[in-house]
Amino acid sequence: MQLAGKVALITGGASGIGRAAALLFAREGAAIALADVNADAGQQVVDEIIEAGGRAFFELTDVAASADCRGFVERAIREFGRIDVLFNNAGIIRRSTVLDLSEEDWDRVMAVNVKSIYLVSRAAIPHMQKAGGGAIVNTSSGWGLAGGGKAAVYCASKGAVVLLTKAMAIDHGPHKIRVNCICPGDTDTPMLREEARQLGVENSRFFAGSAMRPLGRAGTPEEIAQSVLYLASDASSFVTGTALVVDGGGLAGSF
């Protein structure tokens, strides 16, 4: 069990990649602290972990709010006593050009996708230092490395995550805290379907675009979760500051 005895915090854990990571981490022996704005779905994930014999709790959390992030971390310390892994996964998308994007949507995407990493990490890192180190994994995107159409603020936010990850890796390496990010491509999650809705495209037609990549399909949340497990576990003990592309080859010809 790669995370036996460890405590993992996961934001955006009620669905998609966050849910898959929570279930995988629990099977690998970690106690799970789960944060999301979807209380029903988040509690279902926790119930599933507990029914399987694991330890977990759910905290209703707006990751763009400092007090919520601090409260989430403090509860994890009360419940489990330490923090070993932080998966900053919460994210939203708005498919639009800068001309059509509202200022409110710009601010909200940047707050959830970028500011949340700062807020939760700021609260969690001192506890990781006390524990003698840890691992932070942030969720970026293939569009954090290459641009995409009608996705201006999403690309901006995910590009920021890549460089924030690298800066954090430099700052906290001396504390034995490794900081990496994943850059998924199209993954079969509720957010991908939300993209299709925002663009007014039928799901089947939208997913057909995934067949253009070398592996010929979209990824699954469980496949992306495996990459997060690698970066969170001792298997990647000499890896920090990296942006791991997990996209079925979609960006293979882009560099």
CATH of the domain at 32: 3.40.50.720
Note whether residue 68 is domain-resident.
yes
- Write out the residue range of the structural domain in which residue 23 sits: 7-245
Per-residue model confidence as pLDDT tens for the chain (255 residues): 999 999 999 999 999 999 999 999 999 999 999 999 999 999 999 999 999 999 999 999 999 999 999 999 999 999 999 999 999 999 999 999 999 999 999 999 999 999 999 999 999 999 999 999 999 999 999 999 999 999 999 999 999 999 999 999 999 999 999 999 999 999 999 888 888 888 888 888 877 888 888 999 999 999 999 999 999 999 999 999 999 999 999 999 875
Note whether residue 105 is domain-resident.
yes
How many domains does the chain contain in total? Answer: 1
Task: Let me know if 154 is a catalytic residue.
Answer: yes
Note whether residue 150 is domain-resident.
yes
pLDDT of residue 209: 81
Note whether residue 102 is domain-resident.
yes
In this prediction the pTM is 0.97
- 72, 143, 154, 206: the catalytic one is 154
SS3 annotation, the chain: CCCCCCEEEEECCCCHHHHHHHHHHHHCCCEEEEEECCHHHHHHHHHHHHHCCCCEEEEECCCCCHHHHHHHHHHHHHHHCCCCEEEECCCCCCCCCCCCCCHHHHHHHHHHHHHHHHHHHHHHHHHHHHHCCEEEEEECCHHHCCCCCCCHHHHHHHHHHHHHHHHHHHHHHHHCEEEEEEEECCECCHHHHHHHHHHCCCHHHHHHHHHHCCCCCCECHHHHHHHHHHHHCHHHCCCCCCEEEECCCCCCCCC
